[in-house]
Structure 1
Amino acid sequence: MPTVLQVGPYSFIFFSSDRGEPAHIHVKRDRQLAKFWLDSVSLGKNRGFKDHELNDISRLVEEHEQILLEAWHDYFDA
């Protein structure tokens, strides 16, 4: 489970089992976990985050989208 980015309390991670899926990132804080698709940033799944926090996380994903996509391709296309 590589951590690609850490912003404040949020860890942006991949799971090795994600290979074969479209590019996405998991965002973790404590016991909350959300999945965001990276090609046209959108929420894929949410476990525990409140709506207002998801909005903040979505902005972070958009802000770092290029870095996250590059990390995805470096990890899964290698």
Structure 2
Amino acid sequence: MPTILRVDGFRVYFWSHEPNEPPHVHLDKGGASAKVWLEPVRLASNAGFVAHDLGVILRLVRHHQPRLLEA
């Protein structure tokens, strides 16, 4: 699971083999985890993040979307 980015305590990464799914990234921080689709940017799943963190995550992913898609 290559790490693409570390920012504000979040680790952004992807699994190298997840067939049949649209482009997405996983984010972890402090024991919580989320999965975010990249086109369009939207939350796919959440395990432990509060609403405020999810807003931060979606803004972070939108900001870095070109880099994340390239990876």
The 10-residue stretch of structure 1 (30-39 or 17-26) with the greater mean CA deviation from structure 2: 17-26
- Map of 1:16 onto structure 2: 16
Task: Give the root-mean-square deviation of aligned CA atoms.
Answer: 0.9
Aligned pairs for 1:1-78 (under 5 A) are 1-71=1-71
Q: CA deviation at 1:8?
A: 1.6
Whichever residue aligns with residue 20 of structure 1, its letter is N
The list of structure 1 runs, each at least 4 consecutive aligned residues, that deviate by more than 6 angstroms after superposition, is none
Whose helix proportion is higher, 1 or 2?
1
Structure 1 residue 4: deviation in Å? Answer: 0.4
Percent identical among aligned pairs is 44
In 1, distance between residues paired with 2:10 and 2:21? 22
TM-score, with length taken from structure 1: 0.86
Tell me which amino acid in the other structure corresponds to 1:61.
V
Structure 2: segments with no counterpart, 5+ residues: none
Q: Give how far 1:31 is off.
A: 1.1
5+ residue gaps, structure 1, are 72-78
Q: How many residues align?
A: 71
Higher strand share: 2
